[in-house]
Amino acid sequence: MYSNLIKPIKTAKENSLEHWLDKQFDRLYRRYKRTLHSLLNTNGVVLTFGAIVLVSCYFLFITSPSELEPAEDQGFVFSILEADSQTTLDALSASTDELNRLIDDVPEIDNVFIINGSGGTNNAIAGIVLAPWDERERSTQAILENEIQPFMESQPGLSSFALVPPSLPSPGGGTPVEFIIGSTQPYEAINEVANNIVGKAMQSGRFIFVDTDLSIDRPKQTVNIDREKAALMGVSMQQLAADMGSLLSGADAGRFSLDNRSYRVIPQVARSERLTPDQLRQFYTRNQEGELIQLSTLVTLEESVQPQALRGFQQLNAVKISGVPRPGVPLGEALGVLQEIAATELPAGFSVDYAGQSRQFMSEGQQLVVTFFFALVVIFLILAAQFESFKNAIIILVTVPMSVCGALIFISLGFTTLNIYTQVACSPSLGLIAKHGILIVEFANQLQQEGRTKREAIEEATAIRLRPILMTTAATVLAMIPLLIASGAGAGARFAMGLVIASGMTLGTLFTLFVVPAMYLFLAKAITPTPTEHMVSTETNHDA
C-alpha cells in the first residue's frame, strides 16, 4: 500500500511550512540533547526530583477535593419543603403556592410544579424547570445560589432546601449527604447523639441544610373511655367503636350504581365537623336502649407526640442525617466534616454508615486505590515479559507517577474534583505516557546492542524519539480542547475528563523526558554486544 499510495518524498522548499517545522524540530532536538546531557551529569538531582514527584502524588491525592460526579447544568432544580408537624394540608398548600412567584421574579424560570402531602401532611416537594441553555446566560447553579435558595429561606413557616439533582442515577432520599448513625440503643438516645452532630455540622459552615429523619413531633390524640360510666349508661365498647369508626375513618361501606357507573359509599361526617380534636366531644353514640349519648360524657382526650417514622439500617436502630453542602464544598469534604464530628461525639456502641450517593461515593473511592494497584501489577508483569527484564519494566513504570502528578496538580488547585470521570480519564493518559517510556527504553537497548555506551544510547534514543513523543502529546492535548470549552448539558463531565488528560499528558511528558533517561542510566543493565549482534544491527540499520 505504501508503494502504491505514497508519492516520492521531495525536498521541502525553504519557504514552505514543512521546511519551517523541520527547522524548529531540529533546533529543539539540539537544544534538548544539550540540556539532557547537562542534567545527566548531575543524575542524582534528577532522580531526587523524580522521587519528589512520586511522593507528591500521595499528598496531592489526599488534598484533592473529591466527589461522586461533577456538577452538571441540567436546567432543573429539586426542592424539599417541610412545615410544622401540626400543619394541615390546606395550610401547607397556601405556603407552597408562594413558589409560583418565582416564575415572575426570575426570568430564567419556565415552570414550577409542587406536590403537597408527599410523605405527610406537612411535607411537599417542588420542581423548578429553567429555560433551555441557549435562552439564558446564567447557569443553573448560579440561579440556585442567587435567586432560588434565598427566596425559599425567606418563606415563613417552611423549612426548605433546593439542589440540582445528581446527573448519575443513585439510590437514596435525594440529598447528597446521607450519614447513618446506628445502634442497639433506643431511638431517643440515637436522636440525641444525631442532633449534637447536626448542630456542630451547621456550625462548621460547610452545609446549607442538615437535619435528621427522626422527628418526635407528630401530634397524637388518645381517646380515654370511662368504661364504668359507659357500662352504667348502657353503652357497649363494640357500639362505641363502630360509631366512631363510621364517623371518622372514611372506610368504604359499599357501592351504588348510577348511570351505569359504580360509586363508593364512604360514611363520614363533614370535614368542617372534624377539624379539631375537641369536636370529637360533640359526636353521639347510642346505648342499648337506642338513646343518644354525647361522647363528651364518656371520653377524655390526652394529647402527646410520637415519631413521624422509626427506621432501621443494617438490622440496627438508625437515624439518618441528610445534608446539602454549600456551593464549592465537594461531597468528600462534607462527609469528612461529619466523620470528624462523629469521631468525637459518638459514644461506645454507636456506628457510622452511609446511604444513597454518600454510600456510592465511599465504595467507589475505596475501589479506586485497589483497582489502580492491581492495574500497575498487571502492567508491570506484561512489560517484564515483553522486555525480559524487571528493571526495564520499572524504568517504564516511572512514567506513571509523572502523569498522575501532572493530573493531580490541577485537581488539587480546585479546577475540578476527583470523581468518577477524572478516574476514567486517567486510563488513556497513563497508557500514552507509558508508551513514551517504551519508545525510549526499547530504542536505547537497540543502540546499546549496536555498540553505544549506556549513556550515549539513552541520550541518543531520547533525542531521536523526542519528535514522535511531542507529536503524540500535542495531538492528544489538542483533541481535548472541545472538552475544555464545552458548555451546556454534560459540560462538567467533559471538562473534568479533558483537564485530566491534557494536564496529565503535558506535565507527564515534560517530566518523563528527563526522569526516564536518568532512571535508565541508574537502573538499566549495560549491554555488551557480540560481534555478530553488532554486524546484524548495523546491516539492519543501513537497510532501514
Kindly indicate the confidence band of residue 475, based on its pLDDT and cuts at 50, 70 and 90. Answer: very high
Neighbours of 431 (CB within 10 A): 12
> Are residues 87 and 115 located together in one domain of the fold?
yes
> Are residues 344 and 387 located together in one domain of the fold?
no
Q: Is residue 10 part of a domain?
A: no
Name, in order, each residue with C-beta under 8 angstroms of 323's C-beta and a sequence gap of 6 or more.
175, 176, 177, 179, 201, 207, 209, 210, 211, 334, 338
> Are residues 98 and 141 located together in one domain of the fold?
yes
The per-residue pLDDT for 474 is 92
Mean pLDDT of 64-92: 83
Mean pLDDT of 308-319: 84
CA distance 43 to 517: 9
Mean pLDDT of the chain: 84
Domain of 448, CATH number, reads: 1.20.1640.10
Q: Is residue 312 part of a domain?
A: yes
Task: Identify the domain boundary among 276, 300, 324.
Answer: 300
Mean pLDDT of 200-218: 84
CA distance 389 to 103: 69
Kindly indicate the confidence band of residue 535, based on its pLDDT and cuts at 50, 70 and 90. Answer: very low
The per-residue pLDDT for 476 is 92
For the stretch 365-376, pLDDT in tens is 667 778 888 888
> Are residues 410 and 518 located together in one domain of the fold?
yes
Asked if pLDDT for residue 64 goes beyond 90, the answer is no
Give the helix ranges, DSSP H, for 308-355. 331-345
Mean pLDDT of 131-158: 85
> Are residues 196 and 340 located together in one domain of the fold?
yes
Domain of 342, CATH number, reads: 3.30.70.1440
> Are residues 535 and 451 located together in one domain of the fold?
yes
Pick from 102, 96, 91, 106: nearest CA to 126: 96
Task: Identify the domain boundary among 354, 388, 423.
Answer: 354
Q: Is residue 11 part of a domain?
A: no
Q: Choose the weakest-confidence range: 213-217, 231-235, 438-442, 507-511.
A: 213-217
Q: Is residue 12 part of a domain?
A: no
DSSP state of 169: -
3-state secondary structure 343-364: HHHCCCCEEEEECHHHHHHHHH
CA distance 508 to 462: 15
Report the SS3 class of residue 460. Answer: helix
Q: Is residue 452 part of a domain?
A: yes
Domain of 241, CATH number, reads: 3.30.2090.10
> Are residues 371 and 430 located together in one domain of the fold?
yes
Q: Is residue 6 part of a domain?
A: no
> Are residues 418 and 314 located together in one domain of the fold?
no
CA distance 109 to 104: 8
Asked if pLDDT for residue 9 goes beyond 70, the answer is no
Domain of 147, CATH number, reads: 3.30.70.1430
As separate numbers, helices (DSSP H) first and strands (DSSP E) second, the chain gives 20, 15
> Are residues 493 and 378 located together in one domain of the fold?
yes
Mean pLDDT of 421-428: 85
Q: Which residue would you say has higher pLDDT here, 363 or 54?
A: 54
Q: Is residue 13 part of a domain?
A: no
Highest mean pLDDT among 169-178, 189-198, 243-252: 189-198
Asked if pLDDT for residue 542 goes beyond 50, the answer is no
> Are residues 247 and 266 located together in one domain of the fold?
yes
Asked if pLDDT for residue 12 goes beyond 60, the answer is no
The per-residue pLDDT for 11 is 62
The per-residue pLDDT for 541 is 42
Asked if pLDDT for residue 481 goes beyond 90, the answer is yes
**pTM summary value:** 0.74
Mean pLDDT of 471-491: 88
Number of structural domains the chain divides into: 4
Q: Is residue 182 part of a domain?
A: yes
Task: Identify the domain boundary among 354, 373, 390.
Answer: 354
DSSP state of 165: P
> Are residues 142 and 279 located together in one domain of the fold?
no
What is the extent of the structural domain holding 446?
21-69+362-543
* Grid cell listed for 146: 442567587
> Are residues 401 and 295 located together in one domain of the fold?
no
Report the percentage of the chain scoring pLDDT > 70: 94
| Angle CA 336–415–406, to nearest 5 | 95
The per-residue pLDDT for 283 is 86
* Grid cell listed for 15: 519557504
